[in-house]
Amino acid sequence: MPGSSREVRLTRKSSDVGVATAFLAPAILMIVLVTIIPICMAIRTSFHATNYAEVGAFVGLDNFIAVFTGNGLKNILNSIRYVLLSLVVVIPLGVAIGSLLNRKIRGNTLLRTLIIIPWVLSQTVTALLWRWILNGNYGPIAYLVYGLTGRKVDFFSSAGSANVMLVFANAWNTVPVVIILTIAALQTIPGDVMEAGQMDGATRWQIYTRITLPLIRPTIITAVVMQSMEYFNMVTLIYTLTAGGPFDSTQTLSLAAYQNAFNYWHMDIASAYGVIIFLLNIVFSLVYVKLLNTNRE
């Protein structure tokens, strides 16, 4: 009897593993086809010369040397600046708005719906919208500035203003993601914790900074990781809004990879850019995971 019951447990366990594998197989296959295989192909192509889409002779690090002797270093700095500035705006703003919308106020449901609208729009629509709003000839903001100062303004004529407008448009489009994650995290905090803080005489600000924020910190770090990867890989918004100008001041690694691949058909250089983006994503993710583990300890 003991032996038969053990065999039943083993059979049931193997059956559960088989069912789980069957359900996970399509997702695993999709990850392999869409993520792992393209990464391996990009790494291979980055070490070879190419003629359009045809992979040629092995050239070692020549493609990476060509990237760094060209605009590669400038593009890396542009990417890091774009990611960091976007995070500095999006994360605090998203957490603050999410905290406000988590409170019971009149019209809360309508406000949450309106907040999500920018996230629903595609990056192309967002870029075209802000190109019209910020247009120096007929945009409403430029018209308002002209009416107040009597001077025309072109937000995309200088490197500084173009970068600011690009970050602003990106924040408008992506901050709803952080808001949604913040609201979801806040709703998992037990009410007893807040009541205990109030009974101990803590103010609302002390409860928020010393209880609420530490409890949702893992969610905030997760949002930072997600948004960092999205910003490093972002092409459409930047390409449509500034096309990398003026004077390549907003040209990021992802945009350079796209232009080399599909404008110039330099697949080898584009693959080298892609590998650099991949490595930077890994570095940033490891830093965030280290911060998360330190917080848990």
Helix (H, G, I), strand (E, B) or coil at 54: strand
What is the domain range of residue 105? 72-296
Give the residue carrying structure tokens 């930047």: 238
Helix (H, G, I), strand (E, B) or coil at 139: coil
Q: Tell me, what's the pLDDT at 1?
A: 47
Decide if 179 is inside a domain.
yes
Decide if 59 is inside a domain.
no
Highest mean pLDDT of the ranges 14-18, 138-142, 271-275, 280-284: 271-275
Rounded Cα distance, 142 and 289, in Å: 43
Decide if 280 is inside a domain.
yes
Closest CA to 170 of 61, 79, 264: 79
Confidence tier at 209 by pLDDT (50, 70, 90): confident
Q: Tell me, what's the pLDDT at 86?
A: 94
At residue 47, does pLDDT exceed 50? yes
Stated pTM of the model: 0.84
Decide if 161 is inside a domain.
yes
pLDDT digits (tens, 9 = 90+) for 159-189: 888 999 999 999 999 999 999 999 989 888 8
Rounded Cα distance, 118 and 181, in Å: 15
Using a pLDDT cut of 90, give the percent of the chain over it: 22
Please count the residues of the chain. 297
* Domains contained in the chain, number: 1
Confidence tier at 12 by pLDDT (50, 70, 90): low
pLDDT digits (tens, 9 = 90+) for 66-78: 888 888 889 989 9
CATH number of domain containing 181: 1.10.3720.10
